[in-house]
Each structure stands twice: as C-alpha cells, then as structure tokens.
Amino acid sequence: MENNNNIELSNNTKSKLKTSKLMLIIASILVVLYSLNGDMVRAIGKGAAPLTSYESFYAYIITIGIAIYNIINNKEANTMIGLALLTYVWTYYLVNKDIASITDEKMVIEPFFYAYLSSSVFLFISLFINEKKQQIK
C-alpha cells in the first residue's frame, strides 16, 4: 500500500465497477438499437434517412465494440468511450447538414433521433466509473 492516500480496490469492488460500466454501455447500445426502428430525419413527401445511412453510426459500433473488449480484458476503455461520444456530435452534424442541404421540402427531425442522442448519457456516466484506483479524501 502506498503512502500518498491511494488504495487499491478489492477484486470484488473492481468486479462490481466493471459490471456497472458494462451495464451502462449495454444500456446505451439498447437505446441505439431501439432508435434503429425509425428514421433520424424525414423530408415530408420525399423520404427519410435512417440511422444506418450515416457513417458515424458504424464508427459508434466499432468504438463501442473495442470499448467492451477492453473492459472485459481489464484494459483502459475510456478513450474508446470518448470516441464513441464524439460519434454523436458527428451524427448531429450530419443530420443538420442534411436538413440544410434540402431546401425544397420541409425537413422534420424524428423522435428516434432524440432517442439516439439520449443514449449518449449512459456512455457519459460510464466515463466516471474507474476501477483502477480510488482517491481517499
């Protein structure tokens, strides 16, 4: 044990924190899967764009997959979670770009887009779960 107020967490506590982090990521994935049931943006009378039409969705899937792999193998996952959070910004940008590019039709943002964005809350919370060390105040 070190003398600088850092303590190692017990294996049981590490396991609980790891499980909590995984559950938050899985909750995010479930909300994203739910948002696949509808469209992100719709042009009235012309068509719609589902989440799978944006490349940022595939970047999200890849980064979350790597994050889960890292958590299971007791490696640092916060970098991948942070990159996954950036894909939400990317998707938001792409949706707004689509809305700005179509001027002849009224564009409507669908509720599934907001459901997709809300899944980022689970990832953001998971960033604060760190099973490596805990500081004693």
Q: Kindly write down the DSSP assignment for every residue of 72-113, as one continuous string.
A: HTT---HHHHHHHHHHHHHHHHHHHHHHHH--SS-EEE-HHH
For the entire predicted model, the pTM comes to: 0.81
Enumerate residues 6+ apart whose C-beta is below 8 A from 69.
none
pLDDT at 100: 86
pLDDT score of 132:
63
Residues of the chain where predicted confidence (pLDDT) is lower than 70: 1-10, 131-137
